[in-house]
Chain A
Amino acid sequence: MGLTLRQLATNPLFAVGVLIRVLMLLFAAPVVQSKWFVPFLREALVHPSIDPWSTHLAYGGDPMGFPYGPVMYLLHAPLVWLGDIIDRSVGTDCYAGIGFGLTILGLDIGCLLLLEKLLRVPAHRLLLPYWLSPIVIYVCYWHGQTDMVPVYLLLASLYFLQRLRVGYAGAALALAMAAKLSMLLPLPFLCVYFLRNKRIRWGLGRFLASAIGGFLLLQGPYLLSPGVHRMVLQSPEIQKVYRVAISIGENHSVYILPLTYLLLVYIAWRIGRMSFDLMFAFLGMSFFLVLLLAPASIGWFLWTVPFLVAHQVAGGTASLLLVTGFSALLIGFHLVNSTGAYLRWLDLDLAGPLWQGTAASGRHLQSLWLTSMTAVGGVLSLRMLREGVQRNDYYRLSRRPLAIGIAGDSGSGKDTLNRALAGLFGDDSVVNVSGDDYHLWDRHAAMWRAITHLNPQANDLMAFSRDVLSLMDGKPILCRHYDHKAGRFTKASVVQNNDVILVSGLHALYVPALGDRFDVQIFLAMNEDLRRYFKIRRDVHERGHDLANVRELIERRRADTERFINPQESMAGLVFSLEPTNPDQLELLRAEEPALHLRVRIRRALYWDRLVRVLIGLCGLHVDIEMLGPSEGVTLMIDGEIGREDIALAASRLIPQVEELLAVEPQWEDNMMGIMQLITLFHLTEEIRSRAAE
């Protein structure tokens, strides 16, 4: 952060923002601060108390004096008290107010630095949308609201959440809620984010314990205070929640703001798994809609600023213009209707609203103004949501679970690749469908003497396709499982759908209607000698079959392989073929893995150039490229050794925000299996993107 500030120090836009703020701090004494907040805080020096709210009222203070919680009080108190001491010693009446403003300025700079981290953009790109935002300058330094405190704490909470430091995220939200009760609003959305995102669901308990526990610890004792009841809980600010209502009959009303809010929480739930960026956009949109549908105080609009900044950073000129238009309408409206500031030393009183008339024509004009503002705000909300959805959210882009189909002959490595991919996405996010579960008969059936597993007639491909399509449509299935050790099927059980569906089997790509629905179709076309080596090693040593039988079966199956399995290669977008670097190494019963290189055929994809550059440049691998023609794609021969950390680095370079897609601690593999993980993931994201673009 120090580095960012040093870089900003030479930026003229930053200097202009600082100058505006310092001048306003020095000259402008906002009415709400000089009339309410500062006198309230000063009183603690005259009448020290652990319950300043009750003491304030006991000495005849204004009930509007400080409608905020203890965190807001503790944050502002030191500099106001310091200013008050200076005021008393030099006989002035301004330094306590300046002290109040300085706390806001500090948090304002803090928000700029947090936004840099949260939005992952250099701070200088935030100067126009945030640092020179008219809403920030007007709300904080002219109107004098102190919403910067909860906004900073909310951003701190989101910052920790983005880094999955959930305890800190909860603590920061507890502080925000204890500073201002309205910061309870994001809590349900954040809970939905945890609950619907299986990769981080584990963090919900810790987050809630920290957020609610911290809030009760900070706020709880004060809930017993009559002063807090009167000044905070019954503040007119809270009553605004019920101001916009539709009358139902003579005695009842439907309150629009709580209704909209509950509907938005429901929509968030229905959206399902969200990336952090989408959650951020959704939170902003929800805040915004809620504020537009209530007679919101100007301070409340500060809550939306970080989200408007994110929108402007991502959205370009149109977003900048819309936000500028909205800011102008908002500030214009409040300049006319809200209190302002007294200009110190210039002795200029601009404290009252510019228009204090009651003429119906004036009110009508203002209502039209408000309507325009709501319309622009509504457009902005929708754009914020659209941007959020478009920004790298793989699950939302595909609008259904991600589905990967892996076909290949027995012993070609389907299960290994399946496990490797499950390790990337995380077991919590994956559902597996194995073609073996759809064999018609168990191992002991006489039919296998007449027909091999490779024959589609020995498999219930209709049930297989129906089940996979059901999972793709988000529905659970009822499925039995084949126990390879016992050679029998288990009882059928319910399999729930999940974010990622990994389908592997001899015929995973055999049915075109199913094959077309996969996000990635993979065919494993292993070198024949190597395939025999792996199959014998697995069937004999892991599954306990007889070596001679396995050999005989391999021979018997060869014709069916050619007839039923290999043609699926033409359906696959990705064909992986592991080949022994040194065929002499394929000696049975050797403990060490034979050295392998990988042949990858990529169809219908233009990304191979980027992939090759990273494989050679970053991973230090040897890659030969063979172009196969416009519709046939390209074949890459990849050779070399690579560690899992380097593959993880390559993934982060190739796939923006890859962490959103993967488990919190993705299990990358070393060498060729890691390369297969990387290429599958890259292919998947590129396919989703190009489909979304279509």
Chain B
Amino acid sequence: MSLETRQPQLLFNRPSVVLFDLDNTLYAYDPAHAAGMAATRKKACTLVGCADKAFDQFFDQAKQDVKIQLGNNGAAHSRLLYFHRMVELLGMKSQPLLALDLEQTYWRTFLGSAKLFPDVKELLDELRSAGVVTGLVTDLTTQIQFRKLIYFGLDHSFDYIVTSEEAGSEKPSAAPYALMRRKLGETTGALWMIGDNGETDIAGSREHLAAVTLQKRHAGVKIEAGTRAADVVFDEFGDLRRAFAKAGASSA
């Protein structure tokens, strides 16, 4: 439980805008993904009669195929497309019902297992009551990202949301950040970006929005050096709440 920064002065003043990444920043992605994949694997293996290993192998292949086909785009993360392609690779031609069923199983289990990190909601409430503009810049498809927000009860917590699907390309490219900048309009004061990924969230927002960057650290998160090193690294959102309260006190 700590908050580390080489430039403490960055936290002296309250920001006017705070942007967040969603996956693996507001909740731990890996356990939810693992649970979703396990349930889908079990269902697929029962329905199709394939071995676990074959499922994993064909799923990886399908994912690769979709990404090559679609490139750096939100739809390239579509589980529906992955499962659709995987079923084809399993030699079953196109099976829309099966692909949809697997996709729904994945997301249902994923959401059922995903848990918001402690203090996220409280921090967002405090930011909004302090008049700070809040935004979400996230990859993946809009449909599922909105479902996640509603599931977590965060759909009222952000002033602006940008998904890579609507921006046309993923972070760290300029498009999602530029679109967020357009939505925000003219702002004065510091802009914070909170994320988990050194390349997409930290380096991306620093380059395109001149953001003060804050990285959420937990199991599986890589803390990097150089341009991918965040200005602030923190373990708990509670740490950030305290830093924000302190920034408010010194600003006052």
A→B interface (CB under 8 Å): 3, 6-7, 10-12, 122, 124, 613-614, 616-618, 620, 643, 645-646, 649, 652-653
Contacts and interface: CB of A to CB of B under 8 A. Distances in A.
Contact of A618 (B150, B219, B235): B150
A617 B150 contact: yes
8 contacts: A10-B1, A614-B150, A617-B147, A618-B150, A618-B151, A645-B105, A645-B108, A646-B108
B2 interface: yes
Interface in B124-164: 146-147, 149-151, 155
Nearest to B147: A617
A10 B155 CA distance: 31
A617 B152 CA distance: 10
A618 B118 CA distance: 22
Contact of A649 (B1, B112, B118, B149): B112
A613 B108 contact: no
B146 A10 contact: no
B93 interface: no
B104 interface: yes
A597 to B, nearest CB: 20
B209 interface: no
A620 B105 CA distance: 14
Interface of B: 1-2, 31, 104-105, 108, 111-112, 118, 146-147, 149-151, 155, 218-219, 235
Contacts of A7: 218-219
A517 B1 CA distance: 52
- The secondary structure that dominates the A interface is helix
A649 B111 contact: yes
Nearest to B238: A124
Given A613-B155, A617-B151, A618-B150, A6 B1 contact: no
Given A617-B149, A649-B108, 11 more contacts: A3-B219, A7-B219, A10-B2, A122-B118, A124-B1, A613-B150, A617-B150, A618-B151, A645-B108, A649-B112, A653-B151
Contacts of A614: 150
Contacts of A620: 147
Contacts of B149: 617
Contacts of B146: 617
Contacts of A653: 151
B32 to A, nearest CB: 12
B156 to A, nearest CB: 9
- The secondary structure that dominates the B interface is helix
Contacts of A652: 112
A649 B118 CA distance: 22
Contacts of B112: 649, 652
B33 to A, nearest CB: 14
A238 to B, nearest CB: 45
Contacts, number: 39
Contacts of A11: 1
A6 B104 CA distance: 32
Contacts of A618: 111, 147, 150-151
Contacts of B105: 645
B108 A616 contact: no
Nearest to B219: A6
Nearest to A121: B118
B116 to A, nearest CB: 11
Nearest to B148: A617
A124 B31 CA distance: 19
Nearest to B149: A617
A643 B147 contact: no
B219 A10 contact: no
A7 B150 CA distance: 27
Contacts of B218: 7
A620 to B, nearest CB: 8
Closest 10 CB pairs of A and B: A617-B150, A11-B1, A649-B108, A613-B150, A617-B147, A6-B219, A649-B112, A10-B1, A10-B235, A645-B108
A122 B150 CA distance: 22
A646 B155 CA distance: 20
Quick one: which of B1, B104, B147 has the most chain A CB within 10 A?
B1
A618 B148 CA distance: 8
Nearest to A619: B147
A442 B235 CA distance: 73
Nearest to B143: A620
A411 B111 CA distance: 38
B37 to A, nearest CB: 16
Nearest to B153: A613
B47 to A, nearest CB: 14
A373 to B, nearest CB: 35
A6 to B, nearest CB: 6
A236 to B, nearest CB: 46
B171 to A, nearest CB: 24
Contacts of A613: 150, 155
Nearest to B1: A11
Given A12-B1, A645-B105, A616 B150 contact: yes
Contacts of A617: 146-147, 149-151, 155
A122 B218 CA distance: 15
A10 B118 CA distance: 15
Contact of B104 (A10, A124, A646): A646
A124 B118 contact: yes
Contact of A643 (B1, B2, B104, B118): B104
Contacts of B111: 618, 649
Contacts of B2: 10
A618 B155 CA distance: 12
Contacts of B104: 643, 645-646
A620 B107 CA distance: 12
A10 B217 CA distance: 11
A31 to B, nearest CB: 37
A122 B115 CA distance: 11
B50 to A, nearest CB: 21
B31 A3 contact: yes
A505 to B, nearest CB: 37
A304 B177 CA distance: 55
A297 B28 CA distance: 44
A614 B218 CA distance: 29
A614 B111 CA distance: 12
A325 to B, nearest CB: 27
A649 B107 CA distance: 11
Nearest to B28: A3
Contacts of B150: 613-614, 616-618
A9 to B, nearest CB: 10
A7 B155 CA distance: 28
A616 B143 CA distance: 11
B219 to A, nearest CB: 6
Nearest to A620: B147
Contacts of A649: 108, 111-112
B228 to A, nearest CB: 22
A124 B118 CA distance: 10
A416 to B, nearest CB: 25
A647 to B, nearest CB: 10
A10 B150 CA distance: 31
